[in-house]
Chain A
Amino acid sequence: MKVAETMVQIPLDIEKIRLDFPILHTTVNGKPLVYFDNGATTQKPLAVTRAIETYYNTYNSNVHRGVHTLSQKATMAYEEARTTVAGFINAQPEELIFTKGTTDAINLLAYTFGKKFIKEGDEIIISAMEHHSNIVPWQLCCEERKAVLKVVPINENGELLMDEFERMLSDKTKLVAITYVSNTMGTINPVRDIIRLAHARKVPVMLDAAQAVQHIAVDVKELDVDFMAFSGHKLYGPTGIGALYGKLSWLEQLPPYQGGGDMIKTVSFDKTVYADPPLRFEAGTPNIAGAIGMAAGVKYIIGIGLDKIATTERILTEYALERLSSIDGLRLIGMAEHRGPTFSFVIGNSHPTDVGELLDQQGIAVRTGHHCTQPLMDRYCIPGTARASLSFYNTPEEIERLVDGINKAMKLLKR
């Protein structure tokens, strides 16, 4: 596939879209920036930074507690943001809890669900490709409740062994918590099958959708998923904001997570009556600007169209796969049939940090290390990888720069 040919197939005017992202026109180490660390965080369009600026400059105020105009305006914007983000995944606003991010959302669920539903000898199922945020909270939960954490293994291509998963499901299973898309390998998991199999045993499922919602249209009703966690900053919004979706019937049963303002109905020293979901889980002053920014990110994506984003990213993925495979000695970690635009690789015996640093010298930003998936690195017996994760604002020319950059780095590293 040639660059020109690829550009013809892409349904988006990438150059026009790139104008929305000032950072994409900056230089790093004297070279035009190539940003391929979108799996860690995406860049922010002007629509997002302006929404945050407008909030702070024109109606900054606390929410849910003031009768004055600014507070009412802020409350309205905050709750509108909830409606927007909920609508994006086809959820009701009361089913969407704003959190600090995916990690916070999973911790919230692990704590509250564990407290209410997990007892000694129960089992929770995760997978071998989870990032630490979807491992450690469940480990903490299992330790506290004397429950057992089960891990679905993967094959060499980085795909879940679904037979093993089916075998693991039992009457002891109380929850399945699995990632929708692997942050390291880009594997898209068969979440429909996972949910169907779990539900057949009346086991609820939580999806970690941090690497999914920006690439794939996700409809929680259609999926019939029970809980879902995702972040604002990987969705072209700001950091420090994310969401936990939960079916209302589940959320209503969960106890509060943290105590403090906004999560109560009434407080007396004898008894506190907690607010209904989602406010029950949003103690203290929330990240108002974050929620408004996240909603602006979501609106931006909706404006472009997730179908066009998905098609663009699929074409870029195919192009990157072909070009990266042409590099001598480059080994892709994870070759799942269904995959997103994320490529983890090792080259010969080179250390990923060496590769990453030499790419950085050429203005190319990739992630290096274990990507907070240490068990997965152990699975492949590698210290880490270099990871290039693409977004719809990346171009085939940038993929060419990556390939050239890797070749140049390899010449220096000579092994």
Chain B
Amino acid sequence: MTIKESQDKIIDDFALFEEWSDKYEHIIQMGEDLPAMDPKYKVDENLIRGCQSKVWLHAEFKDGLLHFTADSDAQITKGLVALVVSAVSGHTPADIADTDFYFINAIGLTGHLSQTRAGGLASMVKQIKMYALGYKVQQAQKN
């Protein structure tokens, strides 16, 4: 699945829910389904700034693709990071760096999220892009 297809699927999934509680239930479920993060990566260097709750994000570069693992001590935040990670994980740094995370607005999350949570989400996206750009530059230098 391309990043665009992943994002469209997230949008379709959320379109099914009318109640705010169903949306949140789905987000929390996404968090629960997120593959467990290796505890050795749950270190301060992997903490994302700007989140009220703790969010760890780790990037692994393998065979030209960038894989993300993440975790959070709060369930809703974990679900949010799971959504973002699921949309882009396993793609090339170049593709991820160029990604417009349009699904966030499309599923109406920004309207529902508290300002601090929305800020945290922006920080997650920013951190993912930072990783992608870093590896993209590294690759360009090798080629």
Binding site for B on A (CB under 8 A): 29, 350-351, 353-354, 356-358, 360-361, 368-369, 383, 408, 412-415
Contacts and interface: CB of A to CB of B under 8 A. Distances in A.
Interface string B17-57: 00011001100100000000000000000000000111000
A376 B73 CA distance: 19
Given A353-B116, A357-B114, 4 more contacts: A353-B74, A354-B53, A361-B24, A383-B54
Contacts of B7: none
Which secondary structure characterizes the binding site on chain B? helix
Nearest to B79: A354
B20 A412 contact: no
A368 B52 contact: yes
Interface in B94-143: 112-114, 116-117
Interface of B: 20-21, 24-25, 28, 52-54, 73-77, 112-114, 116-117
Given A360-B114, A361-B20, A369-B52, A412 B77 contact: no
A353 B52 contact: yes
Contacts of B114: 356-357, 360
Contacts of B73: 351, 383
Contacts of B52: 353, 368-369
B83 to A, nearest CB: 15
A101 to B, nearest CB: 22
4 residue pairs, one from A and one from B, having the closest CB atoms: A351-B74, A354-B76, A353-B52, A354-B74
A353 B20 contact: no
A358 B117 CA distance: 12
B76 A353 contact: yes
A368 to B, nearest CB: 7
Contact of A361 (B21, B28, B53, B75): B21
A201 to B, nearest CB: 42
Contact of B75 (A351, A360, A368, A408): A351
18 contacts: A351-B76, A353-B53, A353-B74, A353-B76, A353-B116, A354-B53, A354-B76, A354-B77, A357-B113, A357-B114, A369-B52, A383-B53, A408-B21, A412-B21, A412-B25, A412-B28, A413-B28, A414-B28
A383 B54 CA distance: 10
A331 B87 CA distance: 37
A37 B10 CA distance: 35
Contacts of A358: 24, 76
Nearest to A30: B20
Given A351-B75, A353-B74, A354-B76, A412 B24 contact: yes
